[in-house]
Amino acid sequence: MGHRLAKLYESWANDPVVDFIVLKGNGRAFCAGGDVVRLYRLINEGKIEECKDCFRTFYSFVFLLSTYLKPHVAILDGITMGGGAGISVHGSFRIATDKTVFATPEVLIGLHPDAGASYYLSRLPGCLGEYLGLTGDMLSGEEMLACGLATHYSPNASIPLIEEQLGKLAAKDFSVMETFLTSFGQTANPSERSVLHRMNTLNKCFGHATVEEIVDSLESEAARTKDDWCISTVRKLREAPPLSLKVSLRSIREGRFRTLEQCLDREYRMTLRAISRQISNDFCEGVRARLVDKCFPPKWYPPCLEQVPEDMVDAYFALPDAYEPGLELPSKL
């Protein structure tokens, strides 16, 4: 699918008949992300080069989308997770609905937020990006609009009319598309239970320098307030792979000071480390336990935060070996 999308988008970029692109899902999801079970099986079959090609293709497409010179409208009417966020958030327009469910849950299977996630998560208000990246928690369409992940919001019932009118629209100019989408957009307020109403506590806890300090801060807050959100968040972090938590936190923090191109290049190197199993087997173990055998809990290595040495984390961020080609993005060609 990545190869197919890249070829289509490249051909449409130079096609004078194509004014803009609309991307939507076929069914109840926009896109639930990559087929990690298939990747897991390829790794176990020793077909690492096929896995590398998959990630190279996908990350390159994400960059192509981010630099696209025609308006791009992603209709996020349903599940939008992981790679699904990558092929939408980096585009120029994103419509969220009351059916939207957004998440970056890669850490829960022993990976890290990728497909440019370290770039956009790091640019969310306060420490919201750290929270979403480390817990894999979900956002609604209303929350996506409020924090800037979506550019517009429309109820699910309005989507057929928007699509119909888009079919009649001539809009090569971004401002024309903005005006059109705004005419259908609605205000949307997050529910009272939204994490966005807890930003003071979230920033206080997730603003710490290390994962250990974040967990300690949440535990202190939970003991003091008996707050369900704090208790639930501590539980999520305790169940997640310790190495992935540390790697993901550093990745998001570094992303704040990098371009998307730099983030994708770094995420690609990190992903190669994860699928090679030379540092840890957490990715394959997470997919096996959560998605293949479905026998909780996974056996993470290292098993706790205190046993994750810094050099293990550093290895994920090391420069590629001389024989290992880096990620060639369209800007370099």
Where in the sequence numbering do the catalytic residues fall?
A: 34, 83, 106, 114
Distance CA(261)–CA(263), nearest Å, equals 5
Q: Please check whether residue 252 is in contact with residue 265, taking contact to mean a CB–CB distance below 8 angstroms.
A: no
**79-81 and 29-31 as β-strands: parallel, antiparallel, unpaired?**
parallel
Give the DSSP H or E segment for 62. helix 48-66
Give the ranges where 226-325 is alpha helix by DSSP (H): 228-239, 242-255, 260-276, 282-287, 310-316
b/e 187-226 (16+ beta carbons within 10 angstroms → b) = ebebeeebbbebbebbeebbebeebbebbebbbebbeeee
Distance CA(215)–CA(20), nearest Å, equals 45
Distance CA(233)–CA(220), nearest Å, equals 12
Mutual angle of helices 199-206 and 128-135, in 10-degree steps = 70
Distance CA(60)–CA(265), nearest Å, equals 10
